[in-house]
Amino acid sequence: MIVGVLKETAEHERRVALTPEVSAQLVKQGIEVWTESGAGLESNFPDHEYEESGASIVSDRNKILTGSDILVTIQTPDEEEFKKLKKGAILICLLWALQHPELVKQLRDLEVSALGMDFIPRISRAQNMDVLSSMSSIAGYKAALIAANELDKYLPMMMTAAGTIPPSKSLVLGAGVAGLQAIATLKRLGSVVEAFDIRPEVKEQVESLGAKFVEVELGEEETQTEGGYAKELDQKKQDLQRQAIHEHCKKSDIVVTTALIPGRPAPILIKEEMVKDMSPGSVIVDIASENGGNCELTEHGKTVEKYGVKIVGPNNLPSQLSLHASKLYSKNMYALLNLLLEDGKPNFNFEDEILLKTTVTHQGEIISPMLKNG
Ligand code: NAD
């Protein structure tokens, strides 16, 4: 069994799918690991560490594509590349299959078994494979640091001989995995933090981190799906929410936005007129930027200044912490491989909910019910 590891080629992608530590674990189980030369460099894992783990360093990318039984990557390889995989090969990466139906059909027709790391169900048993949580947590942490860096102010209260400086005020919108980590990081840096989420369930988690939960009356209707994700609000409720947030934005030095709704564009929580009312020098870091953004004025991949407010639309935040992001992704990958491999061979046991939901294509069929149910 050969596990291939490619050097990522997508713009802004600095992570690697398998670290030397996990490579050593696989080699110990009798698996051959082929790592493309330089694959780990941007995450500070030089080739010699892979060699020491027992992996082979391969400089010919084609050899890895055509020879691997299991190819592990972060981003989906380009079409010309995944077409080179042998029939029956297994590809494991972030596929974002719901957003790329054509890709799914191609992988099915090529008879590649494709597993989407982003399709791992958010259940307790799959926690050690939950790449969405590992990466969101990094994104939340990094967003708080970017905000602190962009702000022309101290975050903590400072008592100086020249006078006392009050602590900065931060507002975090969306308190899922990323939002909670942003709250924790801003608190550690000494900011006074408020947070809001349409799922009232998270109030307790926000408060346990020492932040204040902003209450918005959204009525009795359920705002959460059975899977624990947020539902899209109707127009009236969105307006109500924005009115409430408007007042809190005015008072905030930092706003970190993280609100997402699966399969939908990110909800607009901050309109232009709300930015206009914010203090000059304040900062918005919009983690939802890749999904359209939570602020109307966000420009993805850029930092822009509008009405004196800096608005950051960051690119691939997990990649900016590439060493730890790679370590966590790789450990999540290892846990999934351990579930998939039995006596060193793949066993697609679809009685197992994790394998069923994560397997996008197998033996010329589309498997995951996440795709079959539309
Ligand atoms: P996400 O990235 O889909 O969304 C981020 C946050 O934005 C969510 O908290 C969501 O409620 C919020 N949001 C959406 N619309 C909003 C709006 N209009 N205003 C304010 N906030 C809005 O979420 P996530 O971080 O991936 O977490 C989703 C769920 O999965 C949570 O319930 C989480 O507890 C759960 N989860 C479970 C496990 C597990 O059991 N293994 C692991 C991780 C996450």
Q: Would you say residue 374 has pLDDT above 60?
A: no
Reported as a single tens digit per residue, the pLDDT across 256-315 is: 999 998 878 899 999 999 999 999 999 999 999 999 999 999 999 999 999 999 999 999
3-state secondary structure of 41: helix
Give the pLDDT band of residue 220 (cuts 50, 70, 90): low
Reported as a single tens digit per residue, the pLDDT across 135-180 is: 999 999 999 999 999 999 999 999 999 999 999 999 999 999 999 9
Residue pair 267/196 in contact (Cβ under 8 Å)? The answer is no
Q: Would you say residue 227 has pLDDT above 90?
A: no
CA distance 358 to 306: 42
CA distance 95 to 77: 9
Residue to mutate (ligand 1; options 177, 226, 231, 328; most atoms within 8 A of CB): 177
Residue 116 has what pLDDT? 98
Task: Please identify which residue in the block is written with the tokens 């939950």.
Answer: 130
Q: Is 198 in the pocket of ligand 1 (CB under 6 A)?
A: yes
Q: Which of 69, 106, 224, 229 is catalytic?
A: 229
- Quick count: other Cβ atoms within 10 Å of Cβ 185? 24
Q: Which residues pair with 35 in a beta bridge?
A: 5, 57
Residue 237 has what pLDDT? 84
Q: Which of 109, 122, 125, 264 is catalytic?
A: 122
**Average pLDDT for 31-53:** 98
Q: Ligand 1 centre and the CA of 220: distance in Å?
A: 19
- Which secondary-structure segment (H or E) carries 242? helix 235-251
Q: Is 228 in the pocket of ligand 1 (CB under 6 A)?
A: yes
Q: Is 262 in the pocket of ligand 1 (CB under 6 A)?
A: yes
**Average pLDDT for 242-246:** 92
ipTM: 0.93
Nearest CA to ligand 1 atom 3: 260
Q: Is 257 in the pocket of ligand 1 (CB under 6 A)?
A: no
Prediction pTM value? 0.94
Residue to mutate (ligand 1; options 133, 222, 242, 264; most atoms within 8 A of CB): 133
Residue pair 227/182 in contact (Cβ under 8 Å)? The answer is no
CA angle 209, 165, 172 (to 5 degrees): 30
CA angle 277, 280, 284 (to 5 degrees): 80
Residue 373 has what pLDDT? 60
Q: Ligand 1 centre and the CA of 228: distance in Å?
A: 7
Out of 49-58, 163-172, 194-203, which region has the weakest mean confidence (pLDDT)?
194-203
Q: Is 267 in the pocket of ligand 1 (CB under 6 A)?
A: yes
Q: Would you say residue 214 has pLDDT above 70?
A: yes
Nearest to 174 by CA among 210, 131, 214: 214
Residue pair 371/104 in contact (Cβ under 8 Å)? The answer is yes
Residue 232 has what pLDDT? 81
Q: Is 134 in the pocket of ligand 1 (CB under 6 A)?
A: no
Q: Which residues pair with 305 in a beta bridge?
A: 310
Q: Would you say residue 185 has pLDDT above 90?
A: yes
Q: Which residues contact 222 (CB under 8 A, 6 or more apart)?
A: 231
Q: Would you say residue 225 has pLDDT above 90?
A: no
Residue 239 has what pLDDT? 87
Q: Is 269 in the pocket of ligand 1 (CB under 6 A)?
A: yes
Residue 287 has what pLDDT? 97
Domains, the chain = 2-129+322-372 (3.40.50.720), 136-320 (3.40.50.720)
Does the active-site annotation cover 130?
Answer: yes
Q: Which residues contact 35 (CB under 8 A, 6 or more apart)?
A: 4, 5, 18, 23, 47, 50, 55, 56, 57, 58
Residue 345 has what pLDDT? 94
Does the active-site annotation cover 122?
Answer: yes
Residue type, 349: N
CA distance 170 to 165: 16
3-state secondary structure of 144: helix
Residue to mutate (ligand 1; options 118, 216, 258, 286; most atoms within 8 A of CB): 258
**Average pLDDT for 32-56:** 98
Q: Which of 29, 127, 243, 363 is catalytic?
A: 127
CA distance 360 to 261: 21
Nearest CA to ligand 1 atom 13: 259
Mean pLDDT across the chain: 95
Residue to mutate (ligand 1; options 96, 117, 119, 122; most atoms within 8 A of CB): 122
Reported as a single tens digit per residue, the pLDDT across 316-338 is: 999 999 999 999 999 999 999 99
First to last CA, the chain: 34
Ligand 1 nearest-atom number relative to CA 266: 15
Residue 222 has what pLDDT? 72
Q: Is 233 in the pocket of ligand 1 (CB under 6 A)?
A: yes
Residue 217 has what pLDDT? 79
